[in-house]
Structure 1
């Protein structure tokens, strides 16, 4: 429901409007590096489908990289939502995946990048700048919002929404610590996202939620549909995500489009979306006191919150919607196909 998965679903929904069709071939959900063994079968299946081009997502690149080049394959276009090696792994896994990802991208005719921040990272790493095209996600996750039940403030000054799966890089424990030191009447924090992606991390979060200083301050909603997520955006006062590595930060853009000031670390792509003190607060990574102070300001200073909310809404108008994203993506793929045929 989030990130690159939602990106491709939204683009596929708009393929016909762009005189195109997007079919999916999936990598087996085996533990790393076992899916590498499925690479030859995947490439054979792709060849048999006879597509005009292959759009290779960054989650799957490592698993076909060792088997490239291959005869009779159409042009390859990379779609990068993360840098080579990914963003959720460390150590040997990250090192091995980085090598495999880089090998796959060497055979790409174009690399479509989800954010300016990620594109800058790739240029600095030595990827050819002339192959890179930034195609950011849309700001509109759903057209028909489903509102949540009741007042999200729950008697407090502000309702803070955080949307993200419970994985360590999303910084949920940092956000909980920031909320815990606020005055009891400051904020009610609402968590939307899958709590079961990383069971070990989720266990730590659940232990923290049971501490007395968070009693009644945090509401866990779990997975929600895109329409329900939009309903939460529209019912909240502030959006917060303390993510340390967010290649684009789709949820920041969605929240700003709903008129929410955003709070997060001054890291990843957030500085490209929101200016500190204008559309919200981008505080030094790891500074929980600064994170808490940003939330405190937005909870108790109504004028500042309203000013930043208006600025966030205005800034979001420069972000693409999903129709824009799909049009650019299929235009880039079509250009690659035409270049290959000439």
Structure 2
């Protein structure tokens, strides 16, 4: 089968969504399908809307199936309406823009555009049950779908070996340096602990691209300067070997995002014996049993984050017990091949049932 995958930019970008897309392409090719990448340049939201004219020139007729990363919804919501015939189109949904925090006056526009895109496709590939529910809230429908949860990039441990380093906790943050990921909330929690005079934290290591939102990156830098020198160490983008080393030297992964469709980084860290601290808004609830193998916090609740860090920093037995539970939970999740096989069967059944044509 010949499949088109529509994305922004190239597949080698460093985010969980692009990792998922790469794994999907690799698996489909391994199973004998041909995958062609159709790309649009990444732009601001307003400029992306203007790219509908460019997307309308894509020749979908040469493909048996078109998969569109939902990230492109502003560039495709109108262009998709122009295709009255042709192969089935699926949306690959990592998370919705309307699940994020934006200025209130813009939300009706974002919701209308996103709903228009979702209603223009024939079915869905979801990375979590939480993402499925998010779509149903925006666009209630009974179109075919599959849920294929991600896996991590590193082999899972057979047992946890996490112990607190001498001198305090080493906490790891992994994600692009953008407001949605909540790094400012995490640093504010460390400031709160420092001001109370009993911080158990030795270092916060920050891995991620700071060029995505330079204004926000400067805001985070100003916050970090309120902590003792060296407390926050910004590593920038790192390769897999370096990231694995940072996982292995840390005890806690803290990424208190506003929302995550799934959160590959949580699963990855859990498989390596870290205790995750994540947002309760989104797919992390499918991974983390609050207080058992990690912690879930409300977006922006730095006081609760500080409380959790203080507790883990003073109770090494609890830290070790939760690290072990974290590994056990991660090992219960499928690997990439198992998840991608679910997508492979779904799309082949869909194309067979539709006779190669659109079903909506």
Give the Å deviation of 1:72.
4.2
TM-score with structure 1 setting the length: 0.88
* Residue 16 of structure 2 corresponds to residue 29 of structure 1: no
TM-score with structure 2 setting the length: 0.84
Within the candidate set 53, 62, 86, 1:73 is matched to 86
Match of 1:108, SS state, is coil
Counterpart in 2 of 1:55?
67
Give the Å deviation of 1:129.
4.2
> Does the C-alpha gap of structure 1 residues 204 and 267 become closer, same or farther in structure 2, counting only changes over 3 Å?
same
Show structure 2 runs of 5+ residues with no match: 1-13, 157-162
Distance 2:141 2:241 in 1: 39
Within the candidate set 236, 261, 282, 1:268 is matched to 282
Distance 1:186 1:233 in 2: 16
> Does the C-alpha gap of structure 1 residues 304 and 153 become closer, same or farther in structure 2, counting only changes over 3 Å?
closer
Output one character per residue of 1:77-116: Cα deviation in whole Å (capped at 9) or x when no partner. 1111122646364445543343223222223221111211
> Does the C-alpha gap of structure 1 residues 219 and 194 become closer, same or farther in structure 2, counting only changes over 3 Å?
same
- 225-234 or 17-26: bigger deviation: 225-234
Give the Å deviation of 1:132.
3.4
Within the candidate set 121, 125, 135, 1:108 is matched to 121
Distance 2:45 2:294 in 1: 38
Counterpart in 2 of 1:149?
none
Match of 1:26, SS state, is strand
Distance 1:58 1:64 in 2: 9
* Residue 341 of structure 2 corresponds to residue 330 of structure 1: no
Counterpart in 2 of 1:122?
135
Distance 2:97 2:301 in 1: 28
Give the Å deviation of 1:239.
0.9
Within the candidate set 216, 220, 243, 1:205 is matched to 220
Within the candidate set 324, 329, 342, 1:310 is matched to 324
Distance 2:43 2:182 in 1: 27
Give the Å deviation of 1:56.
0.9
C-alpha RMSD of matched pairs (Å): 2.4
Distance 2:311 2:68 in 1: 43
Distance 2:210 2:288 in 1: 27
How many residue pairs were aligned? Answer: 332
> Does the C-alpha gap of structure 1 residues 185 and 125 become closer, same or farther in structure 2, counting only changes over 3 Å?
closer
Counterpart in 2 of 1:245?
259
Contact 1:164 / 1:194 at 8 angstroms: preserved in 2?
A: yes
Match of 1:232, SS state, is helix
Counterpart in 2 of 1:196?
211
Give the Å deviation of 1:185.
4.8
State how 1:137-286 maps to structure 2 within 5 Å: 137-138=150-151, 140-142=152-154, 155-180=166-191, 181-182=193-194, 183-211=198-226, 213-286=227-300
